[in-house]
Copies of this chain bind each other. A is one copy, B any other.
Amino acid sequence: MREEDLKQRLRARDLRITPNRLQLLTAIDQFVGAIPHTKLQADLASMDRVTLYRTINSLLEGGLIHRASANEQESYYALCEDSCQADAHQHQHIHFKCDTCEKIYCLPMRQDLHLNTGAFRVRTFEILASGQCEACASLEK
Give the B-binding residues of A (Cβ under 8 A).
67, 69-71, 73, 75, 94, 96, 99, 105, 107, 110-111, 113, 115-134, 137-138
Contacts and interface: CB of A to CB of B under 8 A. Distances in A.
Contact of A129 (B110, B122, B129): B122
Given A67-B71, A71-B69, A129 B125 contact: yes
A105 B133 CA distance: 30
A113 B113 contact: yes
18 contacts: A73-B75, A94-B117, A99-B123, A107-B117, A107-B118, A110-B117, A115-B127, A115-B129, A120-B129, A120-B131, A120-B132, A120-B133, A121-B132, A122-B131, A123-B129, A123-B131, A123-B132, A124-B129
A57 to B, nearest CB: 13
